[in-house]
Amino acid sequence: MSCFGCFSPRRKDVSKVEIDNGTTRSSGSGRGRGHFDDTESGKGKGKGGNSAQKSVARSFTFRELAAATKGFKEVNLIGEGGFGRVYKGRLEAGQVVAVKQLNHDGLQGFQEFIVEVLMLSLLHHTNLVTLIGYCTDGDQRLLVYEYMPRGSLEDHLFDLKPDQEPLCWDTRIKIAVGAARGLEYLHCKANPPVIYRDLKSANILLDDHFNPKLSDFGLAKLGPVGDNTHVSTRVMGTYGYCAPEYAMSGKLTLKSDIYSFGVVMLELITGKKAIDNTMKQGEQNLVAWSRPFLKDRRKFVQLVDPLLQGRFPTRCLHHAVAITAMCLQEQPTFRPLISDIVVALEYLASQNHKPGRAGVHSPISSSPSQQHRDTFSRESDYRMSSTSG
C-alpha cells in the first residue's frame, strides 16, 4: 500500500546503553505561549496525576547533541525506522533524553518536522510526550524528547523475550485509559481540535510506571472548524490502523482517530499485531480477523491474549471488547466520542483485578455511576448495530 507512510521502528535493549541512568529532571523553565496550552486533563486527570510541565522547546546545536549521545554511538541506539534513528543521550545539565535524528531522505520530511515542533510546543498534557528541543544546524534535523524508559507499547505486546513479563490485565487497561486521555485532550481541549492521525502501539511510549504518552506528531492535522465536517488531505498513517473511509477518500475527521484507537484496544486485548504477514491467510489483518468475534458476546473470550493465562475479569473484558467494537464501526458516525470512551475506560480501570485462580474475576466493589451506566447502555446499542450491520 504505497499511499501509507508505513514504518515499524525497531527498538534495541536499552539496558546496554552507554549512559548512566538518572532521575529525569524538569524539561526547563518558562511557559509555552500557544493557545493550545492546557495541562488540565479534565475528566482524564488520573488520581495523583500531575499536569505536564509546560516549557519552551529550546534550540540545540548539533555539537551539543553529538556530545549528549557520545557521537551518536551505536551502543546508544534505542530505535530506528523509516524516519531515522533514536538515541539515548544525556544533556550537559544531566537530563536523560531521547534524540531522534531524521534521515535526509526519510519518511518524516521537513514539513512533518516543523509540524511536530509546533504541535508539541503548543500542546501540553500528562499523556503527551514532552518536546525538550530541536536542532536545525545546516541540513541536520533532530528532535529531543523526554526519555521514556520502558520504550513503546509494542515492545511489551509483541515478540516478547523469554524472560520478559507480559502485561497484566490491569496494566493494559491503565495504558488504554492514559492513551484515551491524551487523545481526549487533542480532540476536546485543544482549540482548534487536533487530529493525531498516527495512533498506534509504536507511538504510545511508557514511563517507569507504565504511564503512557502519545508521541510522533509529525502527521497531526488541525481538525475541521465551523460547519466543516472533515479535512481533506493526502492519506498518511500506518496500514492496519487507518480508518477505512480515510484510506479510501482522504477525508479525515476526529472519528478517524477513534478507529485507530479501536485497533490499539484490539492489540491490547489480543496481544496480536494490527498487521502480521507471518500469520496464515485470513489472520494477517487483525481487524478483519476479529470481526466475527466482536459480533458474538459468547466469543469475546476467544480474543484474549493467551499470555494473560485467563487472569482477567470476565465482565470487564466484555465491556472492553464492546468499547473496541464501537470504535471499529465501519460508519464513522457510529463511533463514540473520545470523552465517552474515557469515561467507560476509567470505570474499567477502577475495577482492579486481583490475580488469583485463572478465569476468576474480582468482585465489583461498587455499582457504576449514572454516567457510567449511560455509557455502557450506549455500548449495548452499538453492539446491536454491529451485529446487524
| Active-site annotation, residues | 198
The DSSP result for 93-152, as a single string, is: TS-EEEEEEE-TTSSS-HHHHHHHHHHHHH---TTBPPEEEEE-STT--EEEEE--TT-B
The three state secondary structure string of 247-310 is: HHHCEECHHHHHHHHHHHHHHHHHCCCCECCCCCCCCCEHHHHHHHHHCCHHHHHHHCCHHHCC
Helix (H, G, I), strand (E, B) or coil at 382: helix
Residue identified by cell 483485578 is 353
Query: Residue 98 — φ and ψ, nearest 5°?
Result: -110, 130
Look up residue 214 and give its three cell numbers: 502519545
100 is in an annotated binding site: yes
Smallest CA-to-CA distance from 182 within 99, 115, 119 is with: 119
Distance CA(232)–CA(275), nearest Å, equals: 26
Rounded distance between C-alpha atoms, residue 286 and residue 283, angstroms: 6
Total residue count of the chain as it appears in this document: 389
Q: How far apart are CA 46 and CA 295, in angstroms?
A: 32
Binding residues for ATP: 100
